[in-house]
Chain A
Amino acid sequence: MVEASVVVTSEVGLHARPASLFVQAANRFRSAIRVRNLTTGSESVDAKSILGVLTLGVLRGHEILIAADGTDEREAVQFLVELIEANFAEVEGA
């Protein structure tokens, strides 16, 4: 298992477009991926579920923990962290 934490800087937090980009990205990996909101101390949810990610209530400035378990766990965590660090500006070698 690989995990990493990252602070969300997008204006709307993990909602609307950022939330769906995040979930779409998570769905590209085979590993099981869980995510939780460290700032609010939430339970962890399935990162491939848009409802799950929305229920985390991640606002701008919150820190989240992403944990992946599976054959592509390293790539998954790295990609999702980068996606958030880049403020959803860059997706897959565009």
Chain B
Amino acid sequence: MPDVDLRGIPASEGIAIGPVHCLRPGKPEIPPRTAGAFEDESRRFDEARQAAGRELAELQSRLAERAGAEEAAIFDAHRLMLDDPMFTEQVRRRLQGGAPVEQAVAESAGEIADRLASMSADVFAARAADVRDIGNRLVRILLGRPEASLGVLREPSVIVAEDLTPSEAAGLDPRMTLGFCTAAGGLTSHTAILARMLGLPAVVGLGESLLTSVVDGDEVILDGGDGLVWVAPSASRLSEYRARQEARRRWEQAWRAAARGQGRTADGRRVEVAANVGDLASARQAAASGAEGIGLLRTEFLFLEASRPPSEDEQTEAYAEVFSAMAGRPIIIRTLDIGGDKPPSYVKFPRELNPFLGWRAIRVSLDQPDLFVTQVRAILRAAVGHDVRILLPMVSRQEEVVQARRLIGRAEADLAQDGLPHVEGLPVGIMIETPAAALLVDVLGKTSDFFSLGTNDLTQYTLAVDRGNARVAPLFQTLHPSVLRLVRSAIQAAHAGRKWIGMCGEMAGMRAAIPILVGLGLDELSMAPASIAEAKALIARLDGDQARRLADEALALATGAEISAKADEFLREIGWTS
């Protein structure tokens, strides 16, 4: 173990070396003042809320551009808080008591935040930061001060904070940001997600000692891959990390060069590298990252946030936008994959003891054909002029494919009758994410045109492990021999029937899994846009025979731990990792 100064949770890979910029909680100092008439103070409160609403809308659109609409949705919650009756009532009561508006706002937000922060459950305490953020914003506006954003950094810096608030994150200038260290937060904290989206290194959960260990201008080394931070590092440590940083820069250049071409092994075997996409922003990111297509377009984004099902026209427009972003590259669109664990408000979901074994995905679609047919009609209309394929989620029986195809046929006939421009005869494929489907690929191939392996659910169902359950989460191993055997058998059966088979689960983007998957003969790997460049470069380094031997050896091993060790050893042998 190195004699490291601070150890935290590795949240986003990469190395940053540079001066620290500390973000102290931005509580503005309020100069004392005698309150004016209640009506005047009250009017200023309303004006400040309007101004704050405009600032939040602006921040939201900036963050949406950089990190996607889903990430930016946090500001919807902030805007709601501005008009929340509990907050506005408390402020008014204080104004009636003769307090100046700045003080009334600061005290009210502080009181609500303190109550939330004092709760034992983290989920409530986490909202306290949002309330403080809103209170500080209003006070700053009332004092007539400009937004003290991270845009004012004069030199590229490593940002140190308790945890970034969403508005701090949205306000930062990526050109002046080298990386992030935060005292709080975990892998799914706002800072961690944002850092990965921006491709900046981050270490989170460093503990409160972080905030007392550094001051502005201190030089630090931040190692986002191992979760380490050195303060005022020695010359030898600095030169070691400068060399690692330089090596990384060279790989990244090589990756970027590889990202422009097609995925191909060193001996010329084609492996398509595509992106998993969940909305328009991620489709744009995919196109810019060198994705050869979309291997999985999730459509839930249109359904989960709304209070009613999106209309056919709304869906047609949304799909057409995503399709156009890919400029002619192939797109695999998955039909609605909802269940009792993530129910939209307008579908009646019965309470289920076991939602993952319950009424979900294609089972819902076939029971509620109106919802399904509307979506299919929108896909067929939006697909005019694009290369689109339809993917059915969570199939476990051949009858489901037959029924779904019948409904697709009905949608085609109806569209023709309605005289609406659309396409017919799109390829229809199925997701292999249940052991039932993986074992039945030869049969299912008779009624479907292609396959895509969904390894997250396939792992969960094969190993009987709910990865959302912390007690058993360590048992969730995608490289478990049983999972890999199902993957191999599915690939062999698909190819025996001359069908194309890809993979869109998390496994497809795992560095350690890629050589094995190439060795097993997958036609395509679909992953998060940020992983594409490295995946293409890694595939280009592989020799087809060598990868096949690796896959054979790995699948002969007894445990997931042995397979992981074997995969890591292979990456070291080919010089990919050290």
Contact = CB atoms under 8 A, between A and B. Distances in A.
A89 B350 contact: yes
A21 B121 CA distance: 20
A48 B116 contact: no
Contacts of B124: 15, 54-55, 57
B349 interface: yes
A72 B123 CA distance: 33
A65 interface: no
Given A54-B124, A55-B116, A59-B121, A49 B348 contact: no
Contacts of A55: 86, 112, 115-116, 124
A59 B125 CA distance: 13
Interface string A26-51: 00000000000000000001101111
Given A15-B123, A57-B124, A49 B86 contact: yes
A16 B124 CA distance: 9
B119 A57 contact: yes
A93 to B, nearest CB: 9
B573 interface: no
Contacts, number: 63
A49 B84 contact: yes
B350 A46 contact: no
Most chain A CB atoms below 10 A, which of B86, B89, B127, B349: B86
A46 B348 contact: no
Nearest to B85: A49
A51 B345 contact: no
A4 interface: no
B493 interface: no
Contacts of B112: 51, 55
Contact of B89 (A13, A16, A46, A89): A46
B85 to A, nearest CB: 4
Contacts of B238: none
B439 interface: no
A24 B345 CA distance: 12
Contacts of A86: 351
A21 B345 contact: yes
B346 interface: yes
Given A15-B124, A55-B115, A91 B86 contact: no
A50 B351 contact: no
B345 A91 contact: yes
Contacts of B86: 45-46, 49, 51-52, 55
A94 B345 contact: yes
B193 interface: no
B87 A51 contact: yes
A15 B350 CA distance: 20
A75 interface: no
A79 to B, nearest CB: 14
A48 B54 CA distance: 24
Given A15-B124, A55-B112, A89-B343, 19 more contacts: A15-B121, A24-B307, A46-B85, A46-B89, A48-B85, A50-B81, A51-B81, A51-B86, A51-B116, A51-B131, A55-B115, A55-B116, A55-B124, A57-B121, A59-B121, A86-B351, A87-B351, A89-B349, A94-B346
Interface of A: 12-13, 15-16, 21, 24, 45-46, 48-52, 54-55, 57, 59, 86-91, 94
29 contacts: A13-B121, A13-B123, A15-B121, A15-B123, A15-B124, A21-B345, A45-B86, A46-B86, A49-B84, A51-B87, A51-B116, A52-B84, A52-B86, A54-B116, A55-B115, A57-B124, A86-B351, A87-B351, A88-B343, A88-B345, A89-B340, A89-B348, A89-B349, A90-B348, A91-B307, A91-B345, A94-B345, A94-B346, A94-B347
